[in-house]
Amino acid sequence: MGIVEEAHNLRVVGEGKRGVIVLAHGFGTDQSVWKHLVPHLVADYRVVLFDTMGAGPTNPDYFDFARYATLEGYALDLLAILQELGVESCIYVGHSVSAVIGALASISRPDLFSKLVLLSASPRYLNDVDYYGGFEQDELDELFEAMRSNYKAWCSGFAPLCVGGDMESVAVQEFSRTLFNIRPDIALSVAQTIFQSDVRSLLPLVSVPCHIVQSTKDLAVPVVVSEYLHKHLGGDSIVEVRAGPVQLCSPGIPLLPFISLRSYAAEPRPSPTGQNPAAPHHLHPITLTHSCPTSPPACSRPIPCGSPVGIDRSSTVQSSSAARRCRAPPASLNALRPPIPSSVSNPSPARLPRRQRRPPPRAPASHAL
């Protein structure tokens, strides 16, 4: 067993001929979070499962606090895993911070990724002058202090809030278990790395097609962030906004976003000249249904949050690589924005229409992974 395989508890299951899917869990969980999804994929794909460094099942002796002080360390780990397995191309499904980790890795090696499925991804959690991420610095400081002073008590309160259920639910109990399994000092270090990160400047360098999946009831990521990603990623992308929480560790997990991978996983769109282009493949337009909260109720949670809650009306949004805007203006993603100062709207910088845009720039040497 190689060091990469041992350090990340690497597993490959399934004998499918349609390609490779890599499943990467988010903060506070481990690869067991995918156990309800994997059975639906193994017939068609080879499925790669691993634990990110610092997760409960990993050996804490392998955790290098300096290496994992930035997300770059995790991106390098992902590339090492793909190299260890000899993966030449994969569909990458990343949840929470692992969505961003996959995006960063794709900047260095876009040839290794045919698609990125980004679940609850955020390029920055802190609010900024022209950006709404959901948190203020003093709120994050309070969160870190709560973790530092009594980690077990923090876990007990954080799990039901994050998952969106009571302590008796399977999803909350499973998330609580994986949270408790993380060594407290490592959990604090990872949380600080995640919540203080800012990769907005690198988004235009992500050229791999992306499927962005966001919940209207996400504790850490406001829905407006999915719109920001959609506008600023360098490659093609589609957005799917879901009314309910994305409970990966629940037996009742909504599988549509993942199973629908089969509808566009490896189908190149014909070029205007009628010839099939070479890689990369492009996403076909997909009609997405989501619900829009008109006025989120006041938040009574004991820890900071920035996500809207409550569903009042429904609408349909259609997105494609040729249209970076909603085709039904009254139901645009702007309707999902929580009440924030008028000066903060995550505006997109001036840019050419999508069809006239030049290819994304190559990553400068300082960003090479």
Say if residues 270 and 242 touch (Cβ distance below 8 Å). Answer: no
Q: How far apart are CA 109 and CA 298, in angstroms?
A: 43
Q: Phi then psi for 230, rounded to 5 degrees? A: -55, -40
Q: What is the pLDDT of residue 318?
A: 32
Dihedral sign for Cα atoms in the order 130, 131, 134, 138: negative
Rounded distance, CA 261 to CA 251, Å? 20
Nearest-5° angle of CA 5, CA 93, CA 9?
A: 15
Say what the pTM is: 0.71
What's the confidence (pLDDT) of residue 260?
A: 52
What is the pLDDT at residue 295?
31
Query: What per-residue confidence (pLDDT) applies to 308?
Result: 26
Return the active site residues: 96, 218
Q: Residue 265's closest CA among 253, 289, 278, 282?
A: 282
Q: What is the CATH number of domain 3-266+281-367?
A: 3.40.50.1820
Across the chain, which has 369 residues, the per-10-residue mean pLDDT values are: 90 91 94 90 94 94 96 97 96 96 97 95 96 95 95 86 69 84 95 97 97 88 95 94 68 51 41 36 31 30 28 29 31 32 39 36 43
Q: Answer yes or no: are the C-beta atoms of 309 and 336 closer than 8 Å.
A: no
- Listed by start position, the domains of the chain span 3-266+281-367
